Amino acid sequence: QYAESTHGFVGADLESLAREGAMNALRRIRPDLDLEEDEIDAEVLESLQVTERDFKEALKGIQPSAMREVFVEVPDVTWDDVGGLEDTKERLRETIQWPLDYPEVFEQMDMQAAKGVLMYGPPGTGKTLLAKAVANEAQSNFISIKGPELLNKYVGESEKGVREVFEKARSNAPTVIFFDEIDSIAGQRGRQQGDSGVGERVVSQLLTELDGLEELEDVVVIATTNRPDLIDQALLRPGRLDRHVHVPVPDEGARKKIFEVHTRDKPLADSVDLDWLAEETEGYVGADIEAVCREASMAASREFINSVDPEEMADTIGNVRISKEHFEHALEEVNPSVTPETREQYEEIEEQFDTAE
């Protein structure tokens, strides 16, 4: 029961909770007790029992520390780490980097800098990677918040959480605030299953914060979803998340570029042909391709470690290569995350969203 009501608590929070529960029990039997002054006699301690009520009282006063801390970082991802997606990169560069780099141009041209971007596309297609790259290239700080975490961790505190995130972003500007899986909190109001109104309150807070962002305040929100059709329309209106960027399932050319990114530091045998790999990987998204490359390296390592005398390892490791066979093995191990059916579903959703705009 306590485990259930302590979402987001770390060990130290639980320790405080236990201590505070015990203190409540003590106060209950000795309300007049002055801890600084009074000695507590052994008899009192022996009869001391911490009850459920004591814990419940304690729980009111303790917040999970995970939520009190909003982490700010400058990511180390660059545009070169993102394979393919040339159009998407260009859009992000213009939308986010330009207003930060060339505010005078925006002023002269009377152009509004974007406050918010919605990136939509299937999971694993590189949305997080792109957001980090744009933050890094624009030399911005980066605050990352996952939708479901916002709801679970900040138990009853989600709106305050949103407020704190924006405050932190302002005080560290320029900042990119990254809201991952925004549909989990900002699905159309009143349509969420089992919603206790939290989602609705969080969306209101988000709207308030977005509307309150001053022009060129150097705070920009990037939100992601794979269900753009479910996002509360109010969030997508002008001045809010009004720039919409599609991050598609990679085509053959893009897959080759993603393979290039993930094999650039690996020792490849001449038999490995990236064109062939790109051809063989219909339906694989960036995250799948990364997994294929990892799996192929693992296969090569396994073969090497099992066949070589540990004494000779250091001398021979330089000759080890990842071969076509290792990649063939990896392709058997890693399945594409987009099947023809799911692809059709995504395309339908995306088409609907595009035409509704």
Task: For residues 215 and 337, give the distance between their C-alpha atoms in angstroms, rounded to a whole number.
Answer: 40
Closer by beta carbon to ligand ADP, 182 or else 202: 182
From the CB of 73, what's the least distance to ligand ADP, in Å?
Answer: 15
Candidates 123-131, 143-151, 312-320, 325-333 — which segment interacts with ligand ADP by CB under 6 A? Answer: 123-131
Please confirm whether the linkage preceding 148 is cis (ω < 30° from 0).
no
Which residue type is seen at 135?
A
Reduce the DSSP state of residue 53 to 3 states and report it. Answer: helix
313: three-class secondary structure by DSSP: helix
Whole-number Å distance between alpha carbons of 336 and 247: 17
Of 2 and 79, which has the nearer Cβ to ligand ADP?
A: 79
Q: Contact between 165 and ligand ADP (CB under 6 A)?
A: no
Does residue 336 touch ligand ADP according to CB under 6 A? no
Q: Which residues does residue 243 pair with via DSSP β-bridges, in sequence order? A: 117
The answer to the question of residue 337 lying near ligand ADP (CB under 6 A) is no
| Nearest distance from C-beta of residue 140 to ligand ADP, angstroms | 17
**Candidate residues 64, 83, 99, 116; the one interacting with ligand ADP per rule CB under 6 A:** 83
Binding of ligand ADP at residue 82 (CB under 6 A)? yes
Give me the least distance between CB of 337 and ligand ADP, in Å please.
Answer: 10
Determine which residue in the list 21, 75, 84, 199 makes contact with ligand ADP, applying CB under 6 A.
84
The residue among 17 and 254 lying less far from ligand ADP, judged by its C-beta, is 254
Q: What is the dihedral of CA 239, 207, 224, 354, to 10 degrees?
A: -50
- Tell how strand 243-246 and strand 175-180 pair up: unpaired
**One-character DSSP codes across 90-156:** HHHIIIIIHHHH-HHHHHHTT-PPPSEEEEE--TTSSHHHHHHHHHHHTT-EEEEEEHHHHHHHTTT
> By beta-carbon distance, which residue lies closest to ligand ADP?
286
Quick one: which of 286, 326, 327, 337 contacts ligand ADP (CB under 6 A)? 286
What does the alpha-carbon distance between residue 300 and residue 11 come to, in Å, rounded to a whole number? 40
Our CB check for ligand ADP shows the closer of 7 and 343 to be 343
**Residue closest to 227 by CA, chosen among 191, 183, 193, 179:** 183
| Token pair for 100 | 């930060």
Closest separation between CB of residue 37 and ligand ADP, Å?
57
CA atoms within 13 A of residue 160's CA, in its CB half-sphere: 9
Of the candidates 96, 258, 272, 334, which one interacts with ligand ADP according to CB under 6 A?
258
> Interface with ligand ADP includes 75 (CB under 6 A)?
no
Give whichever of 129 and 220 is closer to ligand ADP, judged by the CB atom: 129
Q: Is 108 exposed, middle or buried (0-12, 13-18, 19+ CB in 10 A)?
A: exposed
Check binding of 222 to ligand ADP (CB under 6 A).
no
Binding flag, residue 124, ligand ADP (CB under 6 A): yes
How many CA atoms, within 13 angstroms, populate the side-chain half-sphere of residue 65?
8
> Would you say 99 or 147 has its CB closer to ligand ADP?
147
Q: Which stretch binds ligand ADP (CB under 6 A): 121-129, 160-168, 296-304, 314-322?
A: 121-129
CA–CA distances in Å: residue 122 to residues 55, 179, 350:
43, 16, 10
Find the binding residues for ligand ADP in span 85-114 (CB under 6 A): 85
Q: Which amino acid is at 125?
A: T
How far apart are CB 286 and ligand ADP at their closest, in Å?
2
Is 187 among the residues that bind ligand ADP (CB under 6 A)? no
CB–CB of 272/322 below 8 Å?
yes
In the complex, minimum distance from the CB of residue 126 to ligand ADP, in angstroms, rounded to a whole number: 3
Nearest CB to ligand ADP, comparing residues 26 and 129: 129
| Least distance CB 270 / ligand ADP (angstroms) | 24
Question: Which residues contact ligand ADP by CB under 6 A?
Answer: 82-85, 123-129, 224, 258, 261, 286-287, 290
